[in-house]
Structure 1
Amino acid sequence: MRKFKKWFRLVTFGETKKYVRLFLWNFLDSFVMALPYGVMLAAIYLLLIPLAAPAAPLPLSRLWILCGVLLGQTVVYFFIRRRTYINICVGFAQTSKNARISMGEHLRKLSMGFYSRRDAGDLSTVLLRDYTEVENLASSLIPQISVILVRLALSFIVLSAFDWRMMLAVISVIPLSLPFAFVSYRRMGKVSGALLAAQQQAASGILEYVGGIQTLRAFNQSGEHFETLRRSFDDQRKHSVGMELAAAPIGMLGRFVLSCGIGVVMLCGALLLTRGALPPFYYLAFLLLSLNIYEPVMTVFAFIADYARTNRSAQRIDELNREQPLREPEAGEQPDGTEIAFKNVSFSYGDKEVLSNISLRIPAKSLTALVGPSGSGKSTITRLVARFWDATQGEITLGGVPLKEMKTDELLSRISMVFQDVYLFHDTIEANIRMGKPDATTEEIVAAARTAACHDFISALPDGYATIVGEGGSTLSGGEKQRISIARALLKNAPIVLLDEATASLDPENEVLIQQAISALAEDKTVIVIAHRLQSVSNADQIIVLDSGRIAQAGRHEELIEQEGIYQKLWLEQQRAGNWRMV
């Protein structure tokens, strides 16, 4: 019973009370829809009266009453069906929408570590396919099955009142068909996992192929990688066919066994009728009603097979919902200023330690540069400041308040970020810039774009600021995307600025302009910048040199250049590289 309650909560997205109301309306709808069958039996009984007693007149008045019942049933059914339809299409659609929005809010609160270990194709499969599977099951199949089971129970009771021997004949074939239903259930339960994995692999392959098509074509690998994608489609097709074959015992053998029930009823009824042990009207009643029993039973069996497929989808949604988000305080504290401090901070990606016992202080309204070899932990520090993750050990504070004691939205409202890998949404350029300040005026957006040196190229586009950029900003160059992201950060005007190699994708012509834009962005703000070109941060208030997750050196440029160490080595290498020429 506990398992059923848990499953029922999953497939109804937690709104079980609303779903019970939906079931009750479905049952009322089904009951009113079934009234014509009772009227038909009553009419047959009345029409048989003159045959049983030739002197008896045809009861026309009663037949007219039955016609009136049918007319009333039609009117009542219209309103009940309308209400039921609205409950299913609108009510459950609202439930589904709320569930998806809730999932979106849940995903927003998860740490970036979750996304680093989960495949994008896997997540898209859950959000698209699995939700659709559960919606279809919950909005249509479960109400239908519930109503069918109740109607079958009532039909068995009514038919038993007529003649228990004929009732036994009707239900005799149902136990014989049950093994086929359970065989299909077991087989589909095994195949559904393989099918789900194939669908996930295909979704991941599509995302990877489309996202990397430029690189694949550049290296003449598009054909080879498409073969990999094609094989994933073949696997999906193979397992989809396997799913249909797993359902075959129900679809073919189960239906065959149930169809034999009509013959059993006819034969048993004929034997009883010839012996005078069964009235002709009862015989006709069983022949007519048995036709409406076996098809619903077949629907119940098909549901058993569908349950095997959709149960896994419901479990995957539940697993995603049970992922623990970053802890959110009930009443977040307000920081006093923008000074950032790391106190004995360590951080690991799984078993791999990225930062080890880091302690540093970033004064308010200062420029701090993070430099060092690739993989030394520079980007991790900026992500920890934005609380994309929580530190494994130690404490990070902002204005003297631990980040864990601040509301996430409050923290992020104080931070502007410009990443090296810029992501733009499939929307207008104006909308992408407006993300920095949703209530910004058009004049403010244009002013930010001018400062970020992107107004001219935006104005040159056919639709200007209304131009739709592709997903991820695929219709723009790397430098154009970078400038739009800087305009977005300028518009936000937050007191803390995180720059992750913000000029990496810019051409020399615009680099001076962007450096000026960044200077404007960083004015009177607490700035952390990740830089590979040391010359661009030589005027920083402090430079933190990282190596293998530890602070190797710290100081100003003039101090570090005089010390033997990583910074001096990197500086000399970059100076030599600046004099390199192709021969």
Structure 2
Amino acid sequence: MLNTYRRMMDVAGAYKPQLQFTLLLSVIASVIQGIIFALFFPLLSALMNQPIEAQRVWTLLVLFGFLVIIEGLIRWKEQDFAWMTSTDVSHETRLRLGKQLRRMPLQELNRRSSGDLNVVMSGNVSEIVLWIGSLATLVIQTLVVPLIAVLVTLFIDWRLALALLVTFPLAVPVYRQMRTLVKGILRDVSDADVDTASRVVEYAQGLPVLRATKQVGAQSQRLQAALERQREVQSQGQRLVNLPLITMATLVEVGIIAVIGLGTIFILQGSLSIPALFALIVIAMRFTEPLAQLTGLASVFDLMEIGLERIEAVMNISPLAVQTPPAQLTHFDITFDHVSFRYADQTEWALRDVSFHAPERSLTALVGPSGSGKTTITRLISRFADVQEGSIRIGGVDVRQVEPTELMRSISVVFQDVYLFDDTILNNIRMAKPGATDIEVESAARAANCHEFITRLPNGYETRVGEIGGALSGGERQRISIARAILKDAPIVLLDEPTSALDTESEVAVQSAIDQLVANKTVVVIAHRLSTVVGADLILVLEDGHIVEQGTHAQLLTQQGRYTVMWKAQQQSQGWRIAA
């Protein structure tokens, strides 16, 4: 519980004082509630005396009413956090998580599934943070009121107070077993929920492929397996939780019966009055009831603990540190100096002792088979992660000395797989430069050869592109992404062969747009078609994470090495025809 309390305070952030004040109010209200139950003893005694002590009865009833009103007012104030502040905490938590996602290394971000992040950002925040105040005050009430009840019972009859206390030690092992069982199964349930969320996203995005391969419905194995595992884990959890709940309910009943039985014996012996026994029965009911509630709350607390752990795990990911002294980029040549890099949790090197220099305003092409390290080089230029050995410099400045926002301001990236947001074309282009005017956006679109097809759409620039840009063709999406890069006007451009998956007409349009984009820029392009980079200033041939050859097209052909073999193979393939 102390661990959960610490995590709750961390999540509360700037609202920590308000949460602590809420917990203090809950303690005060619970003490008052315990005192209210304690007043049953003198009230019953006054009512059963002969003659009835009317003045004392009215005094106690007035005190009862006063304390009930005070408790109600405190409880009302206590709910401020649960009703209002918790919403602000949820909002702030989501903003903090969003900021963390922007700061964390892209390598770490890519390791997490979309389902996991979706559960953290929406499910964990909504289900956990919104209920922090209510759950915390409920637990305080569950613990404090019985404590006051026991203290009051000590003044009535110490023997019965000890009888009440015996119930609590018996409940402890049941509660601990409950926490152990529940925590394990809830963690499994949480993992199953994350896996299912990821599979649902995957299923929705991959429906065209699933339909083409007849894997929809019951044949969608990955989604079906995730749903089946989720069902099994939830069923197992219900079975495991029921036994401790029944055991605790039995202990509660045994505790009440024990108090009544002992009280009856003491009355027969003449050492306890009947009003005292009635009062003790009321107090015993109030003491044992929270024990049953506490067992039920175990699952809620563990659910909260798991959610807080997930939020904490994301928040604890350290951003890439900026080395001192921080520096600004004024020149934009790129240098790899004996760079070696491997991805997290990988033993094989993705790059090994890679060195090259790409002059400012030059075109450098990366060629080689899949898995040779081409994409890794472009990722490291934008500081996807830090290298384990060597250094990467832009304009003579180590990228580790540049603030991430400053670095990304200097780089435009056009990938082969374009991601457009479910928004208008205007906003998808403008996101590269939020303050851009409509005229600037249109100018970038014209330069990217997409103004004409945009104006033919029903709503022009206000047309929504659909999720991932699904309402547009591949060539149209690619040209919009290039328009976005043109609008950004960064001095460094990274291209991942944006024309390789396009038809001939789209390729011509996109290639023309690229020519507009890369003019007077430092360009690094991943090339699959060697014919597109014949005019490159520098061609790097990669294989197994090493640069095996480098030079211009003409220089590499004279070497009669790996590049020559690739070039001849592609030239020969241009003459292939499909025969009957």
Q: TM-score, normalised by structure 1?
A: 0.89
Say yes or no: does 1:245 pair with 2:245: no
Once residues 505 and 199 of structure 1 are traced to their aligned partners in structure 2, the CA distance between those partners, rounded to angstroms, is 35
| Conserved? CA contact 2:475–2:510, under 8 Å | no
Q: 478-487 or 557-566, which moves further after superposition?
A: 557-566
Say yes or no: does 1:185 pair with 2:179: yes
| Conserved? CA contact 1:250–1:302, under 8 Å | no
**Partner SS state of residue 350, structure 2:** strand
Once residues 440 and 474 of structure 1 are traced to their aligned partners in structure 2, the CA distance between those partners, rounded to angstroms, is 25
Pairing partner for 1:106 from 97, 100, 103: 100
> What percentage of residue pairs aligned between the two structures are identical?
34
Counterparts in 2 of 1:112 and 1:271: CA distance versus 1, 3 Å: same
Pairing partner for 1:63 from 47, 58, 64: 58
Partner residue of 1:386? 382
**Partner SS state of residue 13, structure 1:** helix
Q: For residue 296 of structure 1, what is the amino acid of its counterpart?
A: P
Q: For residue 10 of structure 1, what is the amino acid of its counterpart?
A: R
Say yes or no: does 1:261 pair with 2:255: yes
Q: Residue 242 of structure 1: CA displacement?
A: 1.6
Partner residue of 1:511? 507
Q: 458-467 or 372-381, which moves further after superposition?
A: 458-467
Say yes or no: does 1:430 pair with 2:426: yes
**Partner SS state of residue 342, structure 2:** strand
Q: For residue 256 of structure 2, what is the amino acid of its counterpart?
A: I
Once residues 262 and 459 of structure 2 are traced to their aligned partners in structure 1, the CA distance between those partners, rounded to angstroms, is 79
Say yes or no: does 1:499 pair with 2:495: yes
| Conserved? CA contact 2:218–2:224, under 8 Å | no
Q: For residue 291 of structure 1, what is the amino acid of its counterpart?
A: M
Say yes or no: does 1:285 pair with 2:285: no
Q: For residue 145 of structure 2, what is the amino acid of its counterpart?
A: R
Aligned ranges 1:448-487 → 2 under 5 Å: 448-487=444-483
Once residues 73 and 518 of structure 2 are traced to their aligned partners in structure 1, the CA distance between those partners, rounded to angstroms, is 65
Q: Residue 169 of structure 1: CA displacement?
A: 3.7
Once residues 178 and 73 of structure 2 are traced to their aligned partners in structure 1, the CA distance between those partners, rounded to angstroms, is 39
Once residues 236 and 339 of structure 1 are traced to their aligned partners in structure 2, the CA distance between those partners, rounded to angstroms, is 52
| Conserved? CA contact 2:86–2:130, under 8 Å | no
Partner residue of 1:9? 6
Pairing partner for 1:576 from 558, 562, 572: 572
Q: TM-score, normalised by structure 2?
A: 0.89
Partner residue of 1:340? 334
CA RMSD of aligned residues (A): 2.9
Deviation sequence 1:51-80 (CA, Å, 0-9, x none): 5233x67339x6278448626853x55653
Q: Residue 43 of structure 1: CA displacement?
A: 5.2
Once residues 193 and 34 of structure 2 are traced to their aligned partners in structure 1, the CA distance between those partners, rounded to angstroms, is 41
Counterparts in 2 of 1:221 and 1:305: CA distance versus 1, 3 Å: closer
Deviation sequence 1:136-181 (CA, Å, 0-9, x none): 6733323321232222211111121112233234344343343332
**Partner SS state of residue 208, structure 2:** helix
Say yes or no: does 1:24 pair with 2:19: no
Partner residue of 1:565? 561
Q: Residue 409 of structure 1: CA displacement?
A: 0.8
Once residues 417 and 293 of structure 2 are traced to their aligned partners in structure 1, the CA distance between those partners, rounded to angstroms, is 52
Once residues 274 and 429 of structure 1 are traced to their aligned partners in structure 2, the CA distance between those partners, rounded to angstroms, is 88
Q: Residue 30 of structure 1: CA displacement?
A: 3.6
Partner residue of 1:53? 50
Q: Residue 255 of structure 1: CA displacement?
A: 0.7
| Conserved? CA contact 2:150–2:164, under 8 Å | no
Q: Residue 24 of structure 1: CA displacement?
A: 0.5
**Partner SS state of residue 115, structure 2:** helix
Deviation sequence 1:268-306 (CA, Å, 0-9, x none): 323333443222322221122222221112122333454
Give structure 2 stretches of 5+ with no counterpart.
none
Once residues 251 and 244 of structure 2 are traced to their aligned partners in structure 1, the CA distance between those partners, rounded to angstroms, is 10
Q: For residue 488 of structure 2, what is the amino acid of its counterpart?
A: K
Residues paired across the two proteins, number = 574
Q: 23-32 or 277-286, which moves further after superposition?
A: 23-32
Q: 304-313 or 506-515, which moves further after superposition?
A: 304-313
Partner residue of 1:354? 350
Once residues 42 and 154 of structure 2 are traced to their aligned partners in structure 1, the CA distance between those partners, rounded to angstroms, is 17
Give structure 1 stretches of 5+ with no counterpart.
none
Counterparts in 2 of 1:122 and 1:277: CA distance versus 1, 3 Å: same
